[in-house]
Structure 1
Amino acid sequence: MIRATVWNEFVEEKIYPSVSSVYPDGIHVVLAQALGDELAQEVQVRTAVMQDDEHGLTDDVLAATDVLLWWSHLENDAVSDEIVARVQRRVHQGMGLLILHSAILSKVAKTLLGTSNDATGWRHGDKEHLWTILPTHPIAAGVPNPVVIPQQEMYGEPIDIPTPDELVFISNFEGGEVLRSGCAYLRGQGRIFFFAPGHEEYPVYFQPEIRRILGNAVRWAAAGLPAPARPTRTGEYPASGG
Structure 2
Amino acid sequence: MSGSAGVKVTVWNEYRHERNDEQVKAVYPEGIHEALRSGLSSFGYEVGTATLDEPEHGLTVEKLNDTDVLIWWGHQAHDEVDDAIVQRVQERVLQGMGLIVLHSGHYSKIYKKLMGTSCALKWREADEKERLWVVKPSHPIVAGLPEYIELEEEEMYGEHFDIPDPDDLVLVSWFEGGEVFRSGVTYSRGQGKIFYFRPGHETYPTYYREPVLRIIANAVKWAAEERGASPYYGNAKPLETIVAKK
Q: Which residue of 2 aligns with 1:234?
A: 237
Gaps of 5+ in 1: none
CA separation in 1, counterparts of 2:238 and 2:139? 37
* Pairs within 5 Å for 1:21-32: 21-32=26-37
Q: Which residue of 2 aligns with 1:3?
A: 8
Q: Which residue of 1 aligns with 2:38?
A: 33
Name the SS of the counterpart of 2:86 in structure 1: helix
Q: By how many angstroms is 1:229 displaced?
A: 4.2
Report Cα offsets for 1:50-89 as digits up to 9, x if no partner.
1111000000000000000000000011100000000000
Q: Which residue of 1 aligns with 2:3?
A: none
Of 169, 191, 200, the match for 1:167: 169
CA separation in 2, counterparts of 1:160 and 1:170? 15
Report Cα offsets for 1:23-62 as digits up to 9, x if no partner.
000000000111111x22xx21110101111000000000
Q: By how many angstroms is 1:124 displaced?
A: 2.3
Report if the CA contact (8 A) 1:189-1:227 is conserved. Answer: no
Counterpart of 1:178 in structure 2: which amino acid? Answer: V
Report if the CA contact (8 A) 2:10-2:49 is conserved. Answer: yes
Identity of aligned residues (%): 48
Q: Which residue of 2 aligns with 1:101?
A: 103
Report if the CA contact (8 A) 1:191-1:224 is conserved. Answer: no
Name the SS of the counterpart of 2:99 in structure 1: strand
CA separation in 1, counterparts of 2:98 and 2:126? 29
Counterpart of 2:36 in structure 1: which amino acid? Answer: L
Of 204, 207, 226, the match for 2:206: 204
CA separation in 1, counterparts of 2:51 and 2:186? 25
Counterpart of 1:235 in structure 2: which amino acid? Answer: P
CA separation in 2, counterparts of 1:69 and 1:114? 19
Q: By how many angstroms is 1:112 displaced?
A: 0.7
Q: Which residue of 2 aligns with 1:118?
A: 120
* Pairs within 5 Å for 1:1-242: 1-37=6-42, 39-40=43-44, 43-223=45-225, 225-230=227-232, 234-236=237-239
CA separation in 2, counterparts of 1:101 and 1:125? 16
Counterpart of 1:64 in structure 2: which amino acid? Answer: D
Name the SS of the counterpart of 1:153 in structure 2: strand
Name the SS of the counterpart of 2:27 in structure 1: coil
Structure 1 residues 12, 73: CA separation in 2 closer, same or farther (over 3 Å shift)? Answer: same
CA separation in 1, counterparts of 2:238 and 2:231? 12
Q: By how many angstroms is 1:225 displaced?
A: 3.0
Report if the CA contact (8 A) 1:191-1:225 is conserved. Answer: no
Name the SS of the counterpart of 1:199 in structure 2: coil
CA separation in 2, counterparts of 1:90 and 1:212? 25
Q: By how many angstroms is 1:224 displaced?
A: 5.3
Report if the CA contact (8 A) 1:144-1:209 is conserved. Answer: no
Counterpart of 1:8 in structure 2: which amino acid? Answer: N
Counterpart of 1:120 in structure 2: which amino acid? Answer: K
Counterpart of 1:74 in structure 2: which amino acid? Answer: Q
Report Cα offsets for 1:197-226 as digits up to 9, x if no partner.
001000001111001101100000111532
CA separation in 2, counterparts of 1:118 and 1:224? 32
Counterpart of 2:74 in structure 1: which amino acid? Answer: S
TM-score norm. by structure 2 comes to 0.92
Name the SS of the counterpart of 1:14 in structure 2: helix
Report Cα offsets for 1:102-135 as digits up to 9, x if no partner.
0000001000111111003333211000000000
Counterpart of 1:179 in structure 2: which amino acid? Answer: F
Question: How many residues were matched structurally?
Answer: 236
Name the SS of the counterpart of 2:120 in structure 1: coil
Report if the CA contact (8 A) 2:137-2:147 is conserved. Answer: no
Gaps of 5+ in 2: 1-5
Q: Aligned-pair RMSD on alpha carbons?
A: 1.6
CA separation in 2, counterparts of 1:108 and 1:227? 25
